[in-house]
Each structure stands twice: as C-alpha cells, then as structure tokens.
Chain A
Amino acid sequence: MKQSKKTPIALALLTFLTVLIAPAVAGDEIEIQIATKTDLFPIPNLVFAAQGFVIFLAVLMLVLAVWSFYLTFSKNQKTPLIATVVFGIAFVASVLVWLFAGATMTLTTLLAGSLALAVPLIFGSMSGALSERVGIINIAIEGQLLAGAFTSAVVASITDSVILGIIAAMLAGVLVAALLAVFSIKYLVDQIITGVVVNVLIIGLTSFLFSTLLADNITVLNQPPRFERISIPVLGQIPIIGPVLFNQTLIVYLMYVAVIGVFLALFKTRWGLRVRSVGEYPKASDTVGIKVFRTRYISVMIGGALAGLGGSFFTLGQVGAFGKEMTNGAGYIALAALIFGRWNPIYAALAALLFGFAQNLQYAVQIVGSPLPSEFLLMLPYVLTVIAVAGLVGKVRGPAAAGKPYIKS
C-alpha cells in the first residue's frame, strides 16, 4: 500500500512558513515566566535570544520534514506520530516566540486561560461523543450549551446557588437533547436538519426571554453568583501543572471527571459496548436483544446533560450574566473537536484544548501588541478543523450508523 503524501507536504509547508517568519522576529529577547508565587519551589524566568531560537526551531523542523519525505517516498513508511507531534510543538513555539518577542510571556496564565476557555468546548464534545457514538449526529450541541447558559444564569440568580444553577443547566441540556432524540429516533427526521432547527429554536427562545424577562429584572434574574477558584492543596503548588490544572473553578474539576468518565463508560463498560454497537450496526445490537431506541435516547440525553453543564461556564464561570447568543458557535467548534479527536473523548478533549489555546492566544496577543492582527488568530481553530476533516490526521471515520435512523422491520 502506498503511503499518503499529505504528512510530508504539510510539514514542508509549515517549515517554509517558519522560515518566512524568522527574519520578521523583532525584539532581541523573549522572557518566559514559568513560576507563580504559590509554587513549592521557585523557577527562574527563561530568557532566549528570540531570533536565534526561531532559527533553531526552523532547522529542527526542516530536519523532521526531510526525514518525513525520506520515509514516505524512499521507504514507503509512515511518519512516526512522535515526529509529527515534536514538529507541531516546534511550530507552535516558533509562532509564540514571534508573537511575544521583546515581551514577557507568562506561561501559566496562557495555559490556565486556555484550559478555562476550552471548558465549554470539552463538555460540548463529550455530548457529541455520547450522541454520535450511539448513532445520532449531534449538531444541537450549540443549543444545549446555550440552554444551559441561560437556565443556569436564571436559576443561580434566583436561588443564589451555583450548584442549583448547574443542576438546572443539566436539565435544560437534557430537554434540548430529548428534542433532538425524539425527532431523529421516533420521527426519523434528518438528524442534521433537526440539529440546526433545534439550535435556531433555542437561540430564538433564549433571546426572546432575555429581552422580555431578563433585561428588565437584571438584579433578580440575571446576576448569578460565579464559580469560585478552588486551589487543591499540594497538587496546586506543583510548578506549571499546579496553577494550570489545580487552581481552577468547580466546573473545571467536573470537566476532568466528565472526560475520564465518558471515556471509561464508552470503552470499558458493558453499557459503552452496547452504545457503540448501536452506533455502528444497530441491527446487530437488536438481534442480541439490545434495545436500540432506548440506548439511543439515554446516551443522547446524558450527552445533553453534559453540554448543559458546559453551558453554565459561560454565565457562572466567564461572564457572570447571560447575554444573547453568548455561546457564539462554541457548539460547532466542539463538534469539530470531536471529529478532530476521532470520536474519542480523550482526543476530543485534547483537540478542544488546542482550540481553547488558540482562542486564549488571541487575547494574550492583544495585550502584548503583536505583529499579527489578533482576529487572524481567531481563524486558527477553523483552519485546524478544515485540516482535520480533510484527513490530515489520518483517516477520519466516524461511527458507521451515525445519521441513519433505525427502522425496525
């Protein structure tokens, strides 16, 4: 079998891009701040010669690209994943150096912020994973997130409790998911169309309620308490890892649980095996006595609960109030992360982190003032998605029965 030429060509293009960047690197030095005040032990700031560092990275990338060409065309072998990963890190690093040259980059802030911004994306992609693995295409993640954002804001404002807020958000997500499920499972409506319609419905509904109810009663209905930052003892004091992973809000910790939980449930339990069989070949499931419809309803609705929970991040975590259409397409990016992550919860979460990083980079770059317009960086998640879906990260193959209603004969 012939090896795909995509990888070496992509590496070559990115190397070329880096070579173009190198002369444009302004400022002599880049200072990277790694430590935070709460760390167990101090780490001094790293200081590099900016241009020299980019040139070093470019050379590294060139070597990897040449190697990849050699492997593909002479040896007919796959480029090892580790080479691609190292290459990717080098490329991102060179772009970072270019953007932050002459300034101080606070690594922990950059990473912690990325993680926080990825929260709704990750919850959304978990919803997608649970739904698509059972055979229902989930375009409605956007609607689930938005419903969760709205409901949590209102309920948390009234009750003054974030816990009740997120419970309400989960229920709202379940309702939206149930809508998707009923139309696609029971009434056999095209799942993509149903998903889009559900999203439009939720956008309309929340915007209407926002204008008619929330706008006039802000203090009662739209001033929820926010998640507080909880630092986990000891773990939170490990340099880099601590401040990034263990000095976060409740919802981030719930997210860790959700990702691991969804992964284990799908791949290690009886329930997950059944869910995946229904998403791959529902008739085979039916012939061994698995209830296809029930399995689909349950999995889609659990997904909805997770997406609803993720939606509460927008109001209780980020902004502190509900705003019209505040999810702003996060549901679709979550879906892209799911495909990028090949329908695997862990990979999807990593993909979402990458998108969160790109988003946070844009904020950070605005602050330091960079050579690149910050809007340009906003394109990054979408460019990555196109690359992913085009099959660059390997053959992208979703659950075989996704999108196909099961009709019992």
Chain B
Amino acid sequence: MRLELKQITKKFGDFTANDKIDLVAEAGQIHCLLGENGAGKSTLMNVLYGLYQADGGEILLDGQVQNFSGPGDAMAAGIGMVHQHFMLVPVFTVAENVILGHEPTKALGFLDIQAARERVREISSRFGFDIDPDAIVGDLSVGVQQRVEIIKALLGDAKVLIFDEPTAVLTPQETDELMGIMRQLRDEGKSIVFITHKLREVREVADKITVIRLGKVVGEASPTDSSEHLASMMVGREVDLSVHKNPANLGEASFKVNNLTAFNSAGSKVLDDVSFEIQKGEIFVIAGVQGNGQTELAEAILGIQERVTGSITLEGKELLGKSVKKVLDSGVGFVPEDRTEDGLVADFTIAENLMLDRSDRPPFARGVQLQLKKLHQFAEEKLKQFDIRAQSIFSKAKQLSGGNQQKVVLARELSRDLKVLVASQPTRGLDVGSIEFVHEQIVAARDGGIPVLIVATELDEATQLGDRVAVMYKGKIVGIVSPDTPREELGKLMAGVTK
C-alpha cells in the first residue's frame, strides 16, 4: 500500500510541531524518518495513526484521501504501529493483548481465546518468534514484548507499519534481529515507516530517507550518504560526532564499590555482588540494556536505594548507610536519569533549582533566611557559564527544553566541590548540540582529576566517552573491557553471554 502525507501541519498552541510535511512511503520499501528528539517525528506519526487530528494537510492511502477520527479508523484502513512505549497491558496474556480491539468472539460476545492463540502461533511461526500465547506480558523481556507489539500490528492485517524509535530498548543483537524482521516485512510487500535518530540503523536498513528538523522536512537522503552528511542534515550545521578527549591522566583509585548487593521491595536481587574501582581522572562507563541494575547502582551510591549490602567508599570513607545529604556533602555529584522527575523541581525557577542542594547554608542562606541577592548573582553567573538558554533566571524549569534542563542540573552539581561525579544517562533524549555540551562537561570533570561514573545505554556513547567500559546484565557486572572492544563482543556481554 502506498502511503502519502501531503502538507501535514499540526500545532500545539503557538508551537508548530509539524509544518507542511510531505512524505511518501511505497509498498515494499523501508522508509526512514530521521530527525532529532523533538523534531516532530512522533507527532507526525500520531497524526497518521489518528491519535492527533492534523490542523492541515491530507493523508492518502493508495491515492484515497483518509479521514481518521481515531486509531480505530487508522487500523481499519491498514495502518499498524509499533509504539516506542509499548501499548501492552502488563497483566494480560500475549493472546489477550494482541486481540484487544478486534477480538474474535463466540456467541453473546464471549471471547474465543482459542482462536486468538492460534493466530498468535501462526504469526509467531512465520517470523520465527517463539512466543507462548498464554504468557503474561509483564513477565516477558523487553525484546519479546516488542515482538508482541509487532504481532499485534500484523494481526490487524496492517499494510503500512510504523516503527516508532523501536531500538531504544534493545541490545545490539536484538536490534539486528529487528532489522531482519523489518526486511522480511518489506519483502512481504508492506510499507515500513521507521522513525529513528540513530544514523547507524538508518544507513543499514533504509531504502529511502526523509530528514526532518524543527517540524519541517529538510530533504531526502540516501542510505549510502555518510554519517556526517546525515547528521548535519538532521542538526542543521556541521557536527562532529566523536567525543574529544586527551589520554587519561590517571591518579589513585579513590572511588571503590565492593560486593554491592541489593534487593527490590518484591525481594528479587537487583544488584548482584557488584565490585569495581575508578581512578582519579578516569571515566568509567556502565553499559548495558536499560533495566539491568544500572538505576539501582546509581541510586545506591546516592543513598536512596534500600536493602543494600556491601560497601561504597570515596577516598577511604564509607558512603553506604549515610543520608543523601551526607553523601552529597562528602563530594558526590549526581545527575539522575530522569531530570524532570528527580533532577529538578519543574515548578521552581532556574535560580531555585540551582541551589536545591545548598539551600540551607551560606552563601545562599543565613540562619533561616535565604540570601536572594547572592542566589540571583550566582544564577546569572551559571546561566552564562553553562550557556543555559532561558528568558531569565526566573524562568521555571518546566519551560526549558530538555537540553537546557540538563544544563541546569549539571551547573548545580558541578559547582560543588566534587570528589566523584555520577551521571545516569546524562544525554538521554537530548539534541545533538546539547549532547556535545554535556560530553564536554563530563570530560572536563574527568580532566579536573576526579573519578567519573557514567551509566550509558547507547553503546556508541559508552565506547566514545569511556576510558573503561563495564557491562551490566541482570544486576551483575559481566565484564570490564577497554572501549575499543569490538561491538559484537560488547553486544554479547549486554545479552549476558560471557563465553
């Protein structure tokens, strides 16, 4: 089926998320939609899928103008979507999830769950998936859940399939397998729309590429174009994708984690005997697929993870068991993975956010009284130093872009006297410009002679930024390797294979 978007425009208030976008996806082709976070890719697909109503433009399928008032219409017309955040009910079985919305029934509306099982098995075997239709979705790994999403889309007899950032949660091997599935679907004659910001994947699998930036189509590209060319189209200027850093100037190992084990509230092990040391002037990256204990490790260091045993020492002093305040005061800088949830108070101003950690002491406080003049002076300084783009220091944190929010967090953490910096996915969801800035700051912190611990889920970031890379799998460190280790080997480690 040929999909054509003509002059699609979608506005949210004054903000134009999609500005007259044209896009054509042919049957039997993989069409990549390349753009940075916030470029308007997901908005466009939500318009196509009927979740949003366009303010202008047309959607055509095989030349017929479509009017989607909701996702049900889009599905009926043959559009299926594999969502970035899976649209699966965790407590339902695979069969129940995939039939939701178009359930096979017997008399009186009773579910025909047997028919559903058959259909799951049939599609599973076509793609070589090994999925039990009666498994509870919440018990399945993320990679398998994604396959359930694919089955769900195919069950509706979709002819156009949209994949919205499908590789964000996958290991390199799973990503390769997904590429294979996409090619197979293409060969069956489906039109595939693949949304991503990852150049490697685009170049590997695309037949055609459309690049969008700030809500507008900036041009078409070919999969044979160089990464640099694609990146500059995506960002709108020349970009340097590599991280610049001098050889490490290593000092003593001042940050040590020994036999760290932790349980979650349900009683399962989330950290399993984790031990490592980081030297001064070294960036130590924890790589691995999200959800393998990285968050818990970072939180254990900060002191907000409960049920932890083992030891965490900084310059010989034990951190484990201390309050968060004491941990921060002993020189730990912490950049949380979810900046809007844990890094900032969204409704506070930039200035207030910049002193959250030191609001109780000079120069920002004297007794019970805040020293607002000193605070504002400090905030102005940081605004300049960290190039935070905001109207003023009184702008609320929630009004900032992701990149600028992260700069506020970094500005706050780096302006303390740090003895170690812990940053969890510091570039998650940021635009290329901000990623460059964050990387520079991290490298600067390392060159300032402190140990740096980074949690990274993107393999490229891990290998470029890290002086050493540790891979975590199911709460364990399965290997600590040099950053120039081949990608395949790292991928195996991420899947828990240790030879």
Q: How far is the CA of A302 from the CA of B268 in the complex (A)?
A: 40
Q: How far is the CA of A328 from the CA of B110 in the complex (A)?
A: 38
B444 within 8 A of A: no
* B88 nearest in chain A by CB position: A284
Q: Mark A263-275, 1 if CB is under 8 A from B, else 0.
A: 0100011110110
Contact of A270 among B51, B71, B103, B267 (CB under 8 A): B103
* A399 nearest in chain B by CB position: B91
Q: Mark B137-162, 1 if CB is under 8 A from A, else 0.
A: 00000000000000010000000000
Would you give the shortest CB distance from A129 to chain B, in whole angstroms? 15
A287 touches B83 (CB 8 A): yes
A289 touches B71 (CB 8 A): yes
A375 within 8 A of B: no
Would you give the shortest CB distance from A400 to chain B, in whole angstroms? 7
B residues 95-115 in Cβ contact with A at 8 Å:
96, 99-103, 105, 108-111
Contact of B101 among A268, A269, A280, A289 (CB under 8 A): A289
Inter-chain contacts of B81 with A (CB < 8 A) = 287
Kindly state the interface size class of chain A when it binds its partner. Answer: 20 to 34
B372 within 8 A of A: no
A37 within 8 A of B: no
Inter-chain contacts of B194 with A (CB < 8 A) = none
Contact of A280 among B89, B108, B110, B111 (CB under 8 A): B89
Inter-chain contacts of A289 with B (CB < 8 A) = 70-73, 75-76, 101
A286 within 8 A of B: yes
Given contacts A269-B108, A289-B71, contact A284 B91 (CB under 8 A): no
B268 touches A277 (CB 8 A): no
Kindly state the interface size class of chain B when it binds its partner. Answer: 20 to 34
Q: How far is the CA of A146 from the CA of B71 in the complex (A)?
A: 41
Inter-chain contacts of A277 with B (CB < 8 A) = 89, 92, 100
Would you give the shortest CB distance from B153 to chain A, in whole angstroms? 10
A273 touches B91 (CB 8 A): no
Q: How far is the CA of A337 from the CA of B383 in the complex (A)?
A: 56
Would you give the shortest CB distance from B21 to chain A, in whole angstroms? 19
Q: Mark A387-409, 1 if CB is under 8 A from B, else 0.
A: 00000000000001000000001
B residues 269-321 in Cβ contact with A at 8 Å:
none
Inter-chain contacts of B102 with A (CB < 8 A) = 288
A109 within 8 A of B: no
Inter-chain contacts of B109 with A (CB < 8 A) = 269-271
Inter-chain contacts of B88 with A (CB < 8 A) = 281, 284
B51 touches A286 (CB 8 A): yes
Given contacts A273-B96, A277-B92, A290-B100, contact A283 B110 (CB under 8 A): no
B100 touches A288 (CB 8 A): yes
A285 within 8 A of B: yes
B267 touches A2 (CB 8 A): yes
Q: How far is the CA of A285 from the CA of B108 in the complex (A)?
A: 22
Inter-chain contacts of A270 with B (CB < 8 A) = 103, 105, 109-111
Inter-chain contacts of B92 with A (CB < 8 A) = 273, 276-277, 280
Q: How far is the CA of A281 from the CA of B85 in the complex (A)?
A: 12
Inter-chain contacts of B266 with A (CB < 8 A) = 1
Would you give the shortest CB distance from B158 to chain A, in whole angstroms? 12
Would you give the shortest CB distance from B205 to chain A, in whole angstroms? 25
Would you give the shortest CB distance from B157 to chain A, in whole angstroms? 13
Inter-chain contacts of A288 with B (CB < 8 A) = 71-72, 75, 87, 100-102, 152
Given contacts A273-B111, A280-B89, contact A409 B52 (CB under 8 A): yes
B residues 5-47 in Cβ contact with A at 8 Å:
none
B90 within 8 A of A: yes
B100 touches A409 (CB 8 A): no
A285 touches B100 (CB 8 A): yes
A290 touches B87 (CB 8 A): no
Q: How far is the CA of A286 from the CA of B75 in the complex (A)?
A: 12
B100 touches A269 (CB 8 A): no
Would you give the shortest CB distance from B206 to chain A, in whole angstroms? 25
Inter-chain contacts of B91 with A (CB < 8 A) = 280, 400
Given contacts A273-B103, A280-B91, A400-B91, contact A268 B110 (CB under 8 A): yes
B71 touches A280 (CB 8 A): no
B100 touches A274 (CB 8 A): yes
Inter-chain contacts of B105 with A (CB < 8 A) = 269-270
B49 within 8 A of A: yes
Given contacts A280-B92, A409-B51, contact A269 B110 (CB under 8 A): yes
Inter-chain contacts of A264 with B (CB < 8 A) = 110
A287 touches B71 (CB 8 A): yes
Given pairs A277-B89, A286-B51, A288-B101, 13 additional interface contacts (CB within 8 A): A269-B105, A270-B105, A270-B111, A273-B103, A276-B92, A281-B89, A281-B90, A284-B88, A288-B72, A289-B72, A289-B101, A400-B90, A409-B52
19 A–B contacts from the bound complex (CB under 8 Å): A1-B266, A1-B267, A2-B267, A269-B109, A269-B110, A270-B105, A270-B109, A270-B111, A280-B90, A280-B91, A280-B92, A281-B87, A285-B100, A286-B51, A287-B51, A288-B71, A288-B152, A289-B76, A400-B90
Residues of A within 8 A of B (CB): 1-2, 264, 268-271, 273-274, 276-277, 280-281, 283-291, 400, 409
Pairs A-B, 10 closest by C-beta atoms = A289-B72, A288-B101, A284-B87, A270-B103, A280-B89, A1-B267, A287-B87, A269-B109, A281-B89, A287-B71
